[in-house]
Amino acid sequence: MIETVTLNVRLDQSAFDEPGRPGRRGQLARTRGSGDPLTDRTPDKRVAVIRNRPQAARPLLAASCALLGLAAASGYALAQPGAGESIYLRGVLPSGALLEGKRQAAGLTARGADVACVSCHQRSGLGTYEGYNLDVTIPPIAGAYLFHSREATTKEAVLPYVAWMHSNRDPYTDATLARAIREGLDSQGRPLGALMPRFALSDADMDSLIEYLRQLGSHPAPGVSERELQFATVITPDADPARRKAMLDVMEHYFADKNQFPIGNSPALRTSGKTQQAKSMFMSHRLWRLHVWDLTGPAATWGAQLDADMNREPVFALVSGLGGSNWAPVHQFCERRQLPCLFPNVDAPVDDSRDFYPLYFSKGVLLEADLIARQIAAGTQAASAAPASTVLQVYRLGDGGEAAALALAAALKPLGITVRNQPLAAALGGKGVGQAVRQAQKSDALVLWLRPADLADLGEAAGAPASVYVSGLMGGLEHAPLPTGWRGRARMTYPYELPEKRELRVRYALAWFSIRHIPVVDEPLQVNTYLACGLLAETLSHMSDNLVQPYMVEMLQTSAERRLINTGYYPHLVLALNQHFASKGGYIVQFARPEGAQLVADSDWIVP
């Protein structure tokens, strides 16, 4: 099946306001439509699995930004923040004042983050595009592209391929680049787009910016050679061993398939206008190598362990992965080392809008907390006469429900709803659950952040509030072992597509497992792991030979939504600039009958 989507760009003029008035960023309007086909890439059997230890709305993309753009923290290697980075990434001058950009034609001004050119040219400095036909292009501004020669001969410098590169100009010099930034004229004195802001930078600030651009993208990415790409997957010590094996079964088979026919790379793509048209003939066939990084000991030591792993076995990205109650040290490591962390299997991901490199399929139990908060605030449950005023939460200390309980309490506090928490000892097995839920008799709503073993030991539902919410992710989804008395009153959060609607979306993955004799131990986990590997392969194919780590994240942010069918357990996946969660909603469901797994949704898909 051909899957297509067209993106239409709309300018929010309020990004540039009258002098002295604050602005806001541009908006991107997205509409489905026809376009060039972009289909899912199926896996192409040698596999190398390396275990290091034994187991213990994107802002406006307009021609106005056709020159400038900034990559994260000095290209693709670790570096200390500097003046050029601050100007480019945050829109803050070395003096602490906000960067100011003016659009000459209308006399409008934007300041600070609203005018930071990373918004258009991306963190990698490689620019971006909108539309299947490159209807709007933002060219790369990493140093090699700004200052490259335009001659199309055998002497031409070979730059990594970027389809939207503007090569019909002379190379910039420091002087012509400064003129472009200040006056909006390109290297040959031609006007840039009318919407291109002009920046009145001092000579010192301009020098810092140009110095930053010169070195941007000049550092080789780790884990990349002519023959191989190195990847790792991280497993925390509290991850379930059976789930660990199930995930690795999928990854090892996927990597083996990918390495089955190693035919090598095509000659490097040239960067002139003529040779860029040969992109369709380019093939990149590096072998994939998988390293398994099993963490041990307390979470406080994981960062050092991961640093040691990375220093010993440099990798291009972390792929999938498996966490228990705490993924924060892994998330922080990826951001600190500027290492893409692609779609790990975790219940409680880190939600920090300032970060860039970690991507997740959803917010997990934090999304469930948002869904429950919305439901409680609205008072829409049929059995409730009025919105709840008191809520009791039950969870086990050290489990993912603890983070969810904190998030729900924070969401309900501004509404004047009293939230009481009843934490249980960390050890599983049902001890204390019955006594804890009896405390809910004086509450309007009960929220259970519990695993299947605890749900099975809830006992009788007599005396429980009319409103009961259960975490589907933690409780086992439609297979949650709720006692009969609880099934009629409990509402369950369900952050996946409903079972009867996702059959087509998971069919390919399940068939792939069957052909390779992979036992299905945990279907959501294994389907999501397969989906993560597929997105990795698809994104690398679009990157051609431009293997730059922030560029991979940006490509995922711009292309994930093109998967319209093969989206695993999710109805759709959408990312954009500064977005980290590809699926943003879920359902509130209840069991249809006192027995069985059939669910009924209270409403359509909800995005809280």
Domain boundaries, the chain: 57-215, 228-362+503-562, 365-494+587-601
User: 57-71, 78-92, 229-243, 440-454: which range is least confident on average?
Assistant: 57-71
What value does the mean pLDDT take over residues 394-413?
96
| Greatest extent of the chain over all pairs of C-alpha atoms, in Å | 83
Across 71-80, 161-170, 356-365, 420-429, which has the greatest mean pLDDT? 356-365
Q: Please tell me the predicted confidence (pLDDT) of residue 52.
A: 54
- Residue 360 Ramachandran class (φ > 0 left, ψ -120 to 50 alpha, else beta): beta
Tokens of 346: 């975790």
User: 103-112, 391-400, 402-411: which range is least confident on average?
Assistant: 103-112
Q: CA 88 → CA 98, 189, 559, distances in Å?
A: 11, 23, 24
User: Tell me: the pLDDT tens digits for 17-33?
Assistant: 433 333 333 333 333 23
User: Tell me: the pLDDT tens digits for 37-51?
Assistant: 223 333 334 445 655
Q: What is the 3-state secondary structure (H, E, C) of 529-590?
A: HHHHHHHHHHHHHHHCCCCCHHHHHHHHHHHHHHCCCCCCCCCCCCCCCCCCECCCCEEEEE
Residue 340 has pLDDT above 80, yes or no: yes
Residue 323 has pLDDT above 60, yes or no: yes
Q: Please tell me the predicted confidence (pLDDT) of residue 155.
A: 53
Angle between helices 523-543 and 549-559 (to 10 degrees): 110
Q: Please tell me the predicted confidence (pLDDT) of residue 567.
A: 92
Residue 346 has pLDDT above 50, yes or no: yes
Q: Which CATH superfamily includes the segment(s) 228-362+503-562?
A: Response regulator (3.40.50.2300)
Q: CA 432 → CA 228, 427, 429, 435, distances in Å?
A: 52, 10, 9, 5
Q: Is there a common fold for 228-362+503-562 and 365-494+587-601?
A: yes
Taking domain 365-494+587-601, whether its CATH number is 3.40.50.2300 is answered by yes
- Mean pLDDT of all residues in the chain? 82
pTM above 0.85, yes or no: no
Residue 62 has pLDDT above 90, yes or no: no
Q: Are 222 and 315 in contact (CB under 8 A)?
A: yes
Residue 372 has pLDDT above 80, yes or no: yes
Residue 6 has pLDDT above 60, yes or no: no
Residue of 298, 114, 249, 180 whose CA lies nearest to 519: 249
User: 288-302, 380-394, 454-468, 581-595: which range is least confident on average?
Assistant: 380-394
